[in-house]
Structure 1
Amino acid sequence: MSTEDDANAPAVGSGNAGYPTNGLSDTVHQRHRLGILTIAAETERVEVAYLRDALALTPGNLSRHLAVLEEANLIQIEKGYHGRRPKTWIRITQQGQRALAAEINALRELLRRHQQSRAST
């Protein structure tokens, strides 16, 4: 499965058979990429330096995660200037919003099943 197919995988409850973890995307679920998408979804755009600090990543590690997300069309990278200083921002795409929502829905279903099983024991 390609990263694009993976990012578009249906969420649990939308006809996807099997256990809720089948609805998790390898592209989105990686903890740093999930953090990037979640932060990006909270605002119109986010500065890369903020992501680096918030997620405690090295510049190289963050760059690689951003490349994976950009290749999957989940984010757009925008370069520009703030005054005289070069800046890089990211925006979550519509496809990224859908992939993040599917991931959260799969996690909710997993949590619901876990809580249900714990309540019945």
Structure 2
Amino acid sequence: MKHVIHQLNKAFDHRVRLGVMAVLMANDAVSFNDLKETLELTDGNLASHVSALEKVGYVLVSKQFVGKKPNTTYSASKEGKQAFQDHLSTLEKLLRSDN
């Protein structure tokens, strides 16, 4: 039987992706700038990690214009919410395990 650590979701291995999902789980939608400020990230760092989460279907991206300015917002997809909950449950199991 595999150790519980092998059940962790690799999509959340990096602290930035973990942070992005945590913020999105607590909010319906978050703008790029708010997410960047909350996690204290550069534009490029945030963009690359959100792109990785979008690629696996965990983050939904909405782009629109507010006046003449582009506005990008992110939200967790249904699959992303479930995957993150499963990841957190696995972390809890790991913390409780005697191994």
When normalised by structure 1's length, the TM-score is 0.75
Is 1:79 the counterpart of 2:59 in the alignment? Answer: no
How many residues were matched structurally?
99
Unaligned runs of 5+ in 1: 1-16
Identity of aligned residues (%): 26
Identify unmatched segments of 5+ residues in structure 2: none
Which of these two proteins has the greater Rg computed from alpha carbons? 1
CA distance in 2, matches of 1:26, 1:44: 24
Paired with 1:41 and 1:19, the residues of 2 have a C-alpha distance of 27
Which whole-Å CA distance do the structure 1 matches of 2:3 and 2:38 have between them? 32
The alignment's C-alpha RMSD in Å is 1.5
Structure 1 residues 21-60: aligned runs within 5 Å:
21-60=5-44
Structure 2 counterpart of 1:70, one-letter code: E
Extract structure 1 runs of 4+ deviating beyond 6 A.
none
The code of the aligned residue for 1:29 comes to D
**Inter-partner Cα distance in structure 2 for 1:21 and 1:83:** 47
TM-score by length of 2: 0.90
